[in-house]
């Protein structure tokens, strides 16, 4: 019986052993393509050409600077960048920061005392309560007409940005007429009638392009506005220059936006730039009364502003900078009984500072008129003087009335 059992086992076992490879074989061959497929899919990934990668890295800052897209649009721009930039020349590398920014306040003061011109233009204070030191005059050119050279002084960055913008439009649109340029700032900045700003070398009034051409500021209408060149100017300014704002009358904005839509301009760009689109909380181009015959641009001058901030204290001490220079301004509508002495005491400033900010030659003020009051920057309180915020509210007792909570 045992012999028969063991014989049966030996007969069955070779069959199992023979069938095992046959079952394992198909399973192995069925999984083989899955194992190989990722390798085949991943093979092309490490082989992109180096040129698109360089173009993509160079195009990314330009996309953010020119149109300010949101995160989704920025990712799309990066994906499309290599193909779009393949035939375009690489953008120039950014300019290195001025070596003057490496100077401390003490070094800057010593350098100014030995050679005032060596520190370059300084933009002091706010645009409506500021001053200009070492200003640069807008040069002459056949591409623009400076209406009043005595009031066409600005920071080097501002003057360069104006020139580059107009020259670019003239190059892209041959035959462009000379463009009218109005006030920038006076040679030393400060109040410049009839403006509220234009005090620190960063504001400029520029005329619109007209057809037929005009050499002065003329009210822009659908009949006389050169939409192609004017829109190109606005787009160049907001795309290529460092600007804080552009003031354009609503009626002119509508004409420019309609023209841009007809030529297929990106609506996301228009939403971000123009106030009339109503899609952005702080668009670059905003409405201001009195800007139907010219546009007002306020440029950012990082070097001149930072050096002006550092030099402000010793320039005031040496009376090089006027007393009205301030980083902040309060608008005050004069009421019955107000005098410059009262306003100076109320806001912690001086009579001379208020006079300088408003172009006043006497101490007389008019009731109902709004005046700019330069406000000195308040000192930072010591850390010990700042009250600590409680982590938890104290328990309330029955019948207690709830008073005002500190900090609300």
Kind and range of the H or E element at 407? none
CB 202 within 8 A of CB 155: yes
Residues 171 and 239 in one domain: yes
Residues 236 and 330 in one domain: no
215 within some domain: yes
Give the Cα separation of 54 and 317 in Å (integer).
51
Domain count of the fold of the chain: 2
Give the Cα separation of 306 and 102 in Å (integer).
11
Residues 332 and 280 in one domain: no
Residues 259 and 364 in one domain: no
- The total of other beta-carbon atoms located within 10 Å of residue 148's CB is 12
Residues 121 and 263 in one domain: yes
Of 253, 268, 303, the last residue of a domain is 303
69 within some domain: no
Residues 270 and 369 in one domain: no
316 within some domain: no
Q: Residue 96 has what pLDDT?
A: 61
118 within some domain: yes
353 within some domain: yes
271 within some domain: yes
Residues 292 and 363 in one domain: no
CATH of the domain at 198: 3.30.1380.10
Give the Cα separation of 225 and 208 in Å (integer).
7
266 within some domain: yes
pLDDT in tens, 95-154: 567 899 999 999 999 999 999 999 999 999 999 889 999 999 999 999 999 999 999 999
Domain that holds residue 192: 103-303
Beta-carbon contacts of 276 under 8 Å, excluding residues fewer than 6 positions away, are: 250, 253, 254, 257, 287
Residues 294 and 333 in one domain: no
Residues 114 and 169 in one domain: yes
Residues 252 and 340 in one domain: no
Q: Residue 53 has what pLDDT?
A: 30
CATH of the domain at 333: 3.10.350.10
Number of residues in the chain: 408
Residues 252 and 354 in one domain: no
Of 303, 318, 339, the last residue of a domain is 303
Residues 188 and 236 in one domain: yes
382-396 core/surface letters (b: 16 or more CB in 10 A; e: else): eeeeeeeeeeeeeee
9 within some domain: no
Of 288, 303, 318, the last residue of a domain is 303
CA nearest 324: which of 352, 348, 305, 364? 352
Mean pLDDT score across all residues of the chain: 76
Digit-by-digit pLDDT tens for the chain (408 residues) are: 555 555 544 444 444 444 444 434 433 333 333 333 333 333 333 333 333 333 323 333 223 333 333 333 222 222 333 333 333 344 445 556 789 999 999 999 999 999 999 999 999 999 988 999 999 999 999 999 999 999 999 999 999 999 999 999 999 999 999 999 999 999 999 999 999 899 999 999 999 999 999 999 999 999 999 999 999 999 999 999 999 999 999 999 999 999 999 999 999 999 999 999 999 999 999 999 999 999 999 999 999 999 999 998 899 888 888 877 877 788 898 888 889 888 888 888 888 888 888 888 888 888 888 888 888 765 444 443 333 333 444 444 444 444 444 443
């Amino acid at each position: 019986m045992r012999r028969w059992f063991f014989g049966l086992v030996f007969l069955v076992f070779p069959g199992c052993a023979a069938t095992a490879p046959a079952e394992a074989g198909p399973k192995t061959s069925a999984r083989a393509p899955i194992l190989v497929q990722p390798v085949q899919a991943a093979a092309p990934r490490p082989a992109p050409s180096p040129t698109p990668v360089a173009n993509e890295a160079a195009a990314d800052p330009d996309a953010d600077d020119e149109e300010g897209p949101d995160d989704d649009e920025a990712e799309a721009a990066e994906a499309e960048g290599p193909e779009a930039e393949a035939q375009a020349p690489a953008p120039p590398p950014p300019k290195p920061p001025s070596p003057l920014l490496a100077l401390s306040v003490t070094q800057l003061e010593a350098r100014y005392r030995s050679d005032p011109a060596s520190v370059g233009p300084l933009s002091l204070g706010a645009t409506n309560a500021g001053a200009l030191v070492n200003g640069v005059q807008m040069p002459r050119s056949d591409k623009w007409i400076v209406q009043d050279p005595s009031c066409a002084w600005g920071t080097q960055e501002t003057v360069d940005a104006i020139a580059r913008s107009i020259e670019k439009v003239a190059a892209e649109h041959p035959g462009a007429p000379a463009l009218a340029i109005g006030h920038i700032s006076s040679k030393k900045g400060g109040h410049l009638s009839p403006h509220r700003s234009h005090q620190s070398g960063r504001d400029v009034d520029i005329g619109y392009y007209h057809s037929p051409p005009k050499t002065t500021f003329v009210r822009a209408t659908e009949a006389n506005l050169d939409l192609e060149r004017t829109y190109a100017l606005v787009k160049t300014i907001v795309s290529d220059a460092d600007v804080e704002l552009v003031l354009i009358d609503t009626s002119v904005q509508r004409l420019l936006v309609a023209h841009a839509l007809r030529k297929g301009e990106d609506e996301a760009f228009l939403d971000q730039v123009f106030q009339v689109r109503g899609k952005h909380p702080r668009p670059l181009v905003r409405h201001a009364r009195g800007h139907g015959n010219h546009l007002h641009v306020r440029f950012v001058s990082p070097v001149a502003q930072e050096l002006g901030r550092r030099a402000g204290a010793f320039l005031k001490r040496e009376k090089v900078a006027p007393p009205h220079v301030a980083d902040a301004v309060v608008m005050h509508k004069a009421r019955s009984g107000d005098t410059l002495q009262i306003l100076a005491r109320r806001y912690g400033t001086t009579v001379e500072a208020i006079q300088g900010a408003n172009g006043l030659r006497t101490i007389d003020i008019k009731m109902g008129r709004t005046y700019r009051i330069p406000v000195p920057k308040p000192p930072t309180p010591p850390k010990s003087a700042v009250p600590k915020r409680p982590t938890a509210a104290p328990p309330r007792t029955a019948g207690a009335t709830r008073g005002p909570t500190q900090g609300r």
